[in-house]
């Protein structure tokens, strides 16, 4: 993955994938090996400043754990990624419906708090780079990487390079309307793809359909997640099947539009929902094929790094802050 200088003591980096539900952190050496990891919930309800403070705290926790494990290594940079709209050049988190911020100078805030260089990028672009360079999209000239978790976003990989766009806003497939008159989305639109097909939406929509008939507002299995809904759908649960079918339809509508415009050879699925494997890929491939009546659909596969692709890409970016040779 990187030039192997692991025999020599040297700098390490932290990588933090800041999501709408959880923050996933890890420490990497300059040989590109993950040394340790720590995860914690994202304190979304506490507000933007609490989220920034939690990022700083997680970094310190990672550094402390590293010092206990290997005192020879010192952390010298952080690779930070987040969802929504991100300006990586300016270090600005422009907008995130799930995290509740606009025009936040996130790189500056975190870098000042840590007194070290910080790279900032979009979580899905970072994951797409990892898959393009080392994973499922390696060697593929045209690919679409789609990450399905709390929200849904994508990145186009063209000639092995990730497409950023004129304003760094490519890949917002989660906010492509699948049903123009559908359910309201946190972004302010209606019927967005992620309102039906994200892992959070699948769980939420299933719970809303399985309330106690007495009308007391008590939900059955309030802690249920999307993977459980998919498993129940496969086992014949009618409510789960209806919710999952609607999710597949919404996602296929968005993917069909992307396919018509960009003609990818391969669609790579990542994020937490990708752990469903064939239970997700098989019906999605069938629905996409049905919507592309006059042309062959792109192949669909699961990413090599699942929910860890973004964290791997963030570490890559942090290492490049230290030296272009460490990559």
* Separation of alpha carbons 160 and 140, rounded Å: 7
Could you tell me the residue ranges of all domains in the chain?
Answer: 11-123+308-322, 136-303
Give me the count of residues in the chain.
Answer: 327
For residue 228, the surrounding DSSP H or E stretch is helix 226-234
Each residue's pLDDT tens digit, 86-131: 998 899 999 888 899 999 999 999 999 999 999 999 999 999 999 9
- The dotted CATH code for 136-303 is 3.30.420.40
225-257 per-residue burial string, b: 16 or more CB within 10 A, e: under 16: ebbbbbebbeeebebbbebbebbbbbbbbbbbe
Query: What pLDDT, on a 0 to 100 scale, did the predictor assign at position 143?
Result: 97
Query: What pLDDT, on a 0 to 100 scale, did the predictor assign at position 223?
Result: 64
Q: Tell me whether strands 74-82 and 266-270 are parallel, antiparallel or unpaired.
A: unpaired
Domain 11-123+308-322 - what CATH class?
alpha beta
Query: Is-same-fold flag (11-123+308-322; 136-303)?
Result: yes
Q: Tell me whether strands 118-122 and 74-82 are parallel, antiparallel or unpaired.
A: parallel
Query: What pLDDT, on a 0 to 100 scale, did the predictor assign at position 221?
Result: 52
The pTM of this model reads: 0.83
Query: What pLDDT, on a 0 to 100 scale, did the predictor assign at position 290?
Result: 97
Residue spans of the chain under pLDDT 70: 1-10, 168, 212-223, 324-327
Query: What pLDDT, on a 0 to 100 scale, did the predictor assign at position 172?
Result: 87
Can you tell me which residue has the tokens 């699925």? 269
* Separation of alpha carbons 161 and 155, rounded Å: 10
């Amino acid at each position: 993955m990187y030039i192997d200088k692991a025999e020599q003591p040297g700098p390490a980096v932290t990588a933090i994938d800041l999501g709408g539900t959880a923050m996933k952190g890890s420490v990497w050496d300059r040989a590109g090996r993950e040394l340790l990891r720590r995860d914690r919930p994202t304190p979304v309800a506490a507000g933007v400043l609490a989220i920034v403070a939690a990022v700083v705290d997680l970094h310190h926790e990672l550094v402390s754990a590293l010092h206990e494990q290997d005192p020879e290594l010192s952390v010298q940079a952080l690779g930070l990624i987040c969802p929504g709209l991100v300006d990586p050049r300016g270090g600005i988190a422009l907008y995130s419906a799930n995290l509740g911020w606009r025009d936040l100078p996130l790189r500056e805030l975190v870098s000042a708090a840590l007194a070290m260089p910080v790279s900032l990028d979009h979580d899905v672009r970072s994951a797409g780079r990892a898959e393009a360079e080392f994973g499922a999209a390696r060697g593929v000239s045209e690919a679409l990487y789609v990450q399905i978790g709390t929200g849904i976003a994508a990145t186009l990989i063209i000639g092995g390079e990730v497409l950023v766009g004129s304003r760094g806003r490519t890949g917002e497939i989660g906010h492509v309307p699948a049903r123009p008159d559908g359910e309201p989305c946190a972004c302010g639109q209606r019927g967005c793809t992620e309102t039906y097909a994200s892992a959070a939406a699948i769980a939420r929509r299933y719970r809303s359909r399985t309330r106690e008939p007495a009308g007391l507002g008590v939900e059955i299995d309030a802690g249920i997640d999307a993977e459980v809904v998919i498993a129940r759908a496969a086992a014949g649960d009618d409510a789960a099947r209806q919710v999952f079918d609607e999710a597949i339809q919404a996602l296929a509508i968005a993917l069909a539009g992307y396919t018509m415009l960009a003609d990818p050879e391969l669609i790579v699925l990542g994020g937490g929902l990708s752990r469903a494997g064939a239970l997700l890929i098989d019906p999605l491939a069938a629905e996409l094929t049905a919507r592309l009546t006059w042309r062959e659909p792109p192949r669909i596969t699961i990413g090599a790094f699942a929910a860890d692709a973004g964290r791997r890409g963030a570490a890559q970016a942090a290492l490049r802050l230290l030296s272009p040779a460490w990559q």
